[in-house]
Amino acid sequence: MSSGSGSQLNNAERTETLQELGLLDVSFDPAFDRLTRLASKVLQAPVSLLSLVEHHRQYFKSHIGLAEPWAERRETPLTHSFCQHVVSNGQELIVTDAREHPLVHDNLAIPDLGVISYAGMPIRSGGHVLGSFCVIDGKPRVWTADELDILHEFAELLMTELKLRQEIRIHQQDIRERERLQNELIGLQQALLDELSTPLIPLNDQVLVVPLIGALDQQRAQRMTEALLTGVGKYRADFVILDITGVPVLDTYVASLLVQTSQAIQLLGARMVLTGLRPEIAQTIVSVGLDLRSVVTYSTLQQGIEYTFRRK
């Protein structure tokens, strides 16, 4: 084999195309088996193969009439391959009697697989010849022009199938990429919403003000706790003023979480000041028996700010 032929078998892009199509080492494919079975029947050929050629072997993606142990193995080394020449030369290979053909007369497929006559058409995808669609006979045979035309049509059908599969694969990749980007966008939006739902405003190097507006459900309350604890560590604050003037309702779960958050902030060396506490919310807190000793409370944000300044 010439160096040019060898370079085709070892072409990295061709190998990558074989891998991307997912055709190697996967047995049983009804679409391909239907074509090999039909080709063998129409052309009255004992053996029909879809052979994909790598740099060290040929793999039979589909086969009809192949003898054992090759049928079970579904592959042979290149020492037993006629199809490698179709890949190397990029052209069909027509052999009447392999024993007398200068290209394959010493190929081990002759004694080991009984290949005497052979007709193989190149199978292309992505600009590369991936293998061969071929029919084989165990005796000398002159392949007629009509038979070769039929074999060529089978190869075209097979390449159409490969093209459709590649388009489906690309479409699926596009869908996965869109889903990834969509999830990434949702994550960014959620992060922005989290930041906006719990704004941390450094009043100075010791005081953080967190004005909350709108309903405070369990999920938002949990995000608030995470943001407060992160903010205390980031700004090394001594006081966190949590203003709930704009929160219409405070259920028992959220009220309990506020007390737990205050205790956690205290463990970090800071103090939470709760402002905007209305009578109905205070009643909710008292009704469930929550201990507010760790929380400084004021009715207005201004009073809370004045308290922190006095404590400074």
The pLDDT assigned to 1 comes to 37
Both 149 and 232 in one domain: the answer is no
Separation CA 57–CA 109 (nearest Å): 13
Q: Which residues pair with 243 in a beta bridge?
A: 211, 275
Both 147 and 206 in one domain: the answer is no
Q: Is residue 168 part of a domain?
A: yes
Nearest CA-CA partner of 111 in 87, 79, 150 = 79
Place of tokens 């009643």: 283
Q: Is residue 222 part of a domain?
A: yes
Q: Can you give the chain as a three-state secondary structure string?
A: CCHHHHHHHCCHHHHHHHHHHCCCCCCCCHHHHHHHHHHHHHCCCCEEEEEEECCCEEEEEEEECCCCCHHHHCEEEHHHCCHHHHHHHCCCEEECCHHHCCCCCCCCHHHHHCCCEEEEEEEEECCEEEEEEEEEECCCCCCCHHHHHHHHHHHHHHHHHHHHHHHHHHHHHHHHHHHHHHHHHHHHHHHHHHHHHCCCEECCCCEEEEEEECCCCHHHHHHHHHHHHHHHHHHCCCEEEEEEEECCCCCHHHHHHHHHHHHHHHHCCCEEEEECCCHHHHHHHHHCCCCCCCEEEECCHHHHHHHHHHHC
- Which of these three, 129, 156, 172, is where a domain ends? 172
How many domains are contained in the chain? 2
User: How many other C-beta atoms can be found within 10 angstroms of the C-beta atom of residue 299?
Assistant: 14
Backbone angles phi, psi at 253, to 5 degrees: -65, -50
- On the CB side of 263, CA atoms within 13 Å amount to 10
The pLDDT assigned to 285 comes to 74
Nearest CA-CA partner of 96 in 80, 78, 109, 115 = 115
The pLDDT assigned to 168 comes to 83
Q: Is residue 78 part of a domain?
A: yes
Both 207 and 143 in one domain: the answer is no
CB of 54 within 8 A of CB of 63? no
Separation CA 118–CA 272 (nearest Å): 87
Q: What tens digit of pLDDT does each residue of 255-271 get?
A: 888 888 888 888 899 99
Q: Is residue 190 part of a domain?
A: no
Both 102 and 140 in one domain: the answer is yes
Count of residues making up the chain: 312
Both 159 and 286 in one domain: the answer is no
Q: What tens digit of pLDDT does each residue of 282-304 get?
A: 777 777 777 777 678 888 999 99
CATH no. for residue 297?
3.30.750.24
The pLDDT assigned to 27 comes to 67
pLDDT < 70 regions, the chain = 1-6, 27, 189-198, 294, 312
Domain of 78 in residue numbering reads as 3-172
Both 25 and 153 in one domain: the answer is yes
Both 210 and 163 in one domain: the answer is no
The pLDDT assigned to 192 comes to 56
The pLDDT assigned to 2 comes to 37
Place of tokens 């991936």: 130
Both 150 and 252 in one domain: the answer is no
Contact partners, residue 33, CB within 8 Å, separation at least 6: 62, 64
The pLDDT assigned to 197 comes to 56
